[in-house]
A and B are shown apart, each in its own frame.
Chain A
Amino acid sequence: MRITSILLLLLFSVLARPAAAFDADAVRALVFGDGEQQVAAIAALVADGDARGAQVLEALAEGELKTSGKRILIVQGEKAIDAISGAVLSAPHADAEEIIANNRLRRELAGGIAALKLASADRATRLAAAKELSGGAAEAMLPLVRKALDREDDPGIKGMLEMIAAAMEIKSSDREVRIAAIRRLATSSNRDTKTLLLGVLERKDGAWVEADADLRAEAEKSLRVVEGQLAWGERAGLAFAGVSLGSILLLAALGLAITYGLMGVINMAHGELIMIGAYTTYVVQNLFKLHAPGAFDWYLPCAVPASFIMAAVIGMILERGVIRFLYGRPLETLLATWGISLVLIQAVRTLFGAQNVQVENPAWMSGGVEMLTNVVLPYSRIVIIAFVAVVLACMWLLLTRTRLGLFVRGVTQNRAMASCVGVPTGRVDTLAFGLGCGIAGLAGCALSQIGNVGPDLGQSYIVDSFMVVVLGGVGQLAGTVYAALGLGFANKLLESWSGAVLAKIVVLVFIIIFIQKRPQGLFALKGRSVEN
């Protein structure tokens, strides 16, 4: 039995050997060697360009390459292939140990596999491979890239390949080739290009590492162009971060703009209503996980109305039960709502535990879109910006175009008169408060996608929310929008300039001074004001 299997193995290897220049020694070095040998083995296997070598490399990248004693196996589910002989083994290999690829090896592997894929007939595969190689390729891949460059007829991929080749040729021994490469790199907007050009301009102990002055001058010129392009990307990234933070501040403050801004209730429990929205999202997520795991990616559209309704209902109960008895007594309202916030926090702690809960992003919200090579806009933040815009539009329509909105504005402007002409002021108060709280719930739903969800979630947003509403001018929706975006931008600008800790302090100091000079906020109501 054993003899036959050995014979079979031999037969296989005899059959397999002549078919291609398969470098078995390289595979062994890849598996059993140390870091240096492994890197050399990858280069050797890629240079061979053999299909089975490629299979081994891909197996290592996927974590399918295992060892069982001296044997090297490619294990795919139930199937196992001997990597050296190519024989298919039927016996299960539960004891097989995975070969661990570290960062360095993985980087080499990704480059090697991509270089091999450049020969593919499929355009999309080649494009993906070229993109991968743009992230920095080992010099050993140069011949493969050159070969691919000769064959390539797609202008897009060709352009990318030229850049990749130039990035490698910058270290060439031929001076003319180097200068050409440096000139070509000026059109690149890749971060790694800057690193490469800086390498040419490196100084060691006061002396230039690169002796050739012309070359340095060329590199300097290219570097300036590349840096100019990178700077644009950085500015765009900063602007996006500002809008993103502004949209989050706006969403957190929008509900408060109604309950505090329009109705004048100092609602210290506003943050906790945000937290309830986030926990509702968590519950909806768990329900989807339990009952509809297939549709998990679409739990958010369900969580949005659920968190609105949940927070709105709790808000209305609060208004009916506590707050309506305290209208016109701001100090008592402040104390009562603060007490309520503590009760809500403790209730959530008792129900869900003191630890943070996990709200997972749906798959379509992870990752980002690459705008420039150095700017990636995360989908989650884009979605939130769009969501805020929609919520803002809906709220504006509701307040200016509907009967309820008319009533709300009427009651806040002149309660007695509104009551006289038959507006049920009590009910309008409840609904308006519910609306404000519901929007807080929506904010919680959105925040759960980018931050932590815990019982203390609201505490970190309550100060920011009040800041935005007060800065914008109490009673002004437009003021809230401007204040939120302005604070977002200011915070991000200061952060990139002075660090996160100092930025926060500077913003707070600015607000204190601003409120001293202009207590009515950015936009004050003209004429006889509500506060009479």
Chain B
Amino acid sequence: MNRRNFVRAIGLSAAITACFASPFAYAQAKTVKVGIMHSLSGTMAISETVLKDVALMAIDEINAKGGVMGAKIQPVVVDPASNWPLFAEKARQLLSQDKVAVTFGCWTSVSRKSVLPVFEELNGLLFYPVQYEGEELSKNVFYTGAAPNQQAIPAVEYLISKDGGGAKRFVLLGTDYVYPRTTNKILRAFLKSKGIAEKDIDEKYTPFGHADYQTIVADIKKFSAGGKTAVISTINGDSNVPFYKELGNQGLKATNVPVVAFSVGEEELRGVDTKPLVGHLAAWNYFMSVKNPANDEFRKKWAAYAKAKKLPGADKPLTNDPMEATYIGIYMWKQAVEKAKTFDVEKVIPAVGGQTFTAPSGFSVKMDEKNHHLHKPVLIGEVKADGQFNVVWKTKGPIKAQPWSPFIAGNDKKKDAPDGKTKI
């Protein structure tokens, strides 16, 4: 009885407050829906789950400070389950049913290619947070990850340089799908321009989820007898764990044959014994080990959030590059909305260009006015015994993205800005 009375009293008082303070209550109730579309199950869950969590963290943070233009952000989380056609369905649901103002999502290029027509048809807005192969520009997408010239090309340049070991032969090793194949096509052209002969480049692919790297590591060893060799790995997903285990077990040391990876970060190395892997490299635009106030704050916030939400792995909270890119994307969208003074996609898109944000990488990154890509710094790190990375090389400042790589024929004629049509 007591409880019922109590509930009634609360309800009544709430109703009264609502009557008297209706304008205030209205402002409180105003929300804006935002879509979060990352695979929470299936093969890509290993990488994408944390992106969903960091997006929710950023949204909590923005809401705690009053939201965007007085409106609280209401996240709509969908799980496309590493199933590429399902990505398109979920995107359609977010845009036409939930009417989200913006969506943050996708990891693999094949999932992005799947949702792209939906976003263009329904005039949605997508922020894509992962490094990718370029060769795409859409009016409806902002790319906060790296283009090839912000990751792959500088990394290979470093390997060729004296400090990077002066590599003369290259093994291009990847998972068999669009991103590694396109990246390797660009890299092959780049290596040729550097005077590396065809016979000194070996391209190898393995299927998704490949787990037996004995032959591949033995082949790398054999190949390396012909001259100073470096391996460029575009292996994606959980295959990286058996690959690095095999490297360690077979004693292929970084001082002899360095492996530089484009899809391996702190999170992927979580389950691997990194002591035999010391010195292998990764190229990103951010590492957890970077020292600067913005990163200290980012790491602290993430650790606190992971602990509060009891996320798996909260005992050893790790941040990585795509998490940083997600975080930047959300804030850039907020700033653009505040500049445009509306959630209308048509007006927000021009406002995103030119936005700047003090990123945890320690640089003030800017969204290019035209080409929908971020100006980002490039960092190359070496694996340490504790699974973190030592930055051994970095650019002086952020560099502009080239979504149309000059190393692919015909790209010089393409415009560095979306023209409203899809170019897949």
Contact = CB atoms under 8 A, between A and B. Distances in A.
Interface of A: 35-36, 100, 102-104, 106-107, 110, 135-136, 191-192, 194-195, 198, 230, 234, 237-238, 240-241, 244-245, 248, 349, 353-356, 358-361, 366-368, 370, 374, 376, 378-381, 450-452, 454, 456, 460, 492, 495-496, 499-501, 504
B227 A245 contact: no
A26 to B, nearest CB: 19
A241 B221 contact: no
Nearest to B241: A452
Query: 5 tightest CB-CB pairs across the interface, nearest first?
Result: A358-B271, A378-B249, A107-B255, A354-B41, A241-B214
A359 B382 CA distance: 24
Contact of B214 (A100, A451, A492): A492
A496 B220 CA distance: 11
Given A366-B248, A367-B276, A456-B43, A103 B258 contact: yes
B117 to A, nearest CB: 28
A496 B254 contact: no
A366 B225 contact: no
B247 to A, nearest CB: 10
B273 A361 contact: yes
A230 B218 CA distance: 12
A244 B219 CA distance: 17
B205 A103 contact: no
Given A198-B227, A234-B218, A355-B312, A106 B176 contact: no
Interface in B249-293: 249-251, 253-256, 258, 270-271, 273, 276, 279, 281
Given A355-B46, A500-B215, A501-B206, A379 B41 contact: no
B221 A191 contact: yes
Nearest to A193: B225
B195 to A, nearest CB: 11
Interface of B: 40-43, 45-46, 49, 162-165, 176, 204-207, 209-212, 214-216, 218-219, 221-222, 224-228, 238, 241-242, 245-246, 248-251, 253-256, 258, 270-271, 273, 276, 279, 281, 312, 382, 390-392
Contact of A500 (B42, B205, B218, B227): B205
Contact of A100 (B46, B164, B241, B390): B390
Among B45, B225, B242, find the residue whose CB has the most chain A CB atoms closer than 10 A.
Answer: B225
A376 B163 contact: no
Given A110-B255, A238-B218, A450-B245, A35 B163 contact: yes
Contacts of A504: 207
Contact of A104 (B163, B219, B271): B163
Nearest to A453: B271
A27 B224 CA distance: 33
Nearest to A237: B218
B405 to A, nearest CB: 25
A366 B206 CA distance: 24
Nearest to B207: A501
Contacts of B248: 366-367
A102 B392 CA distance: 6
A102 B382 contact: yes
Nearest to A365: B249
Contacts of A450: 211, 242, 245
Nearest to B240: A452
A248 B242 CA distance: 14
Nearest to A199: B227
21 contacts: A35-B162, A100-B392, A103-B164, A240-B214, A241-B214, A355-B312, A356-B241, A358-B270, A358-B271, A359-B271, A361-B273, A367-B276, A368-B249, A368-B250, A450-B242, A451-B241, A499-B204, A500-B204, A500-B210, A500-B215, A504-B207
Contacts of A380: 245, 249
Nearest to A361: B273
B246 A104 contact: no
A370 B382 CA distance: 26
Contacts of B271: 356, 358-360
B86 to A, nearest CB: 15
A367 B251 contact: yes
A500 B258 contact: no
Contacts of B281: 103
Contact of A378 (B246, B253, B390): B246
Nearest to B203: A499
Nearest to A379: B249
A376 B43 contact: no
A35 B390 CA distance: 16
Given A356-B238, A376-B251, A492 B215 contact: yes
Nearest to A36: B162
Given A368-B249, A376-B249, A354 B225 contact: no
B218 A241 contact: yes
Nearest to B227: A195
A9 B392 CA distance: 34
Given A361-B273, A496-B215, A103 B238 contact: no
Contacts of B276: 366-367
A195 B72 CA distance: 64
Nearest to B251: A376
A368 B215 CA distance: 15
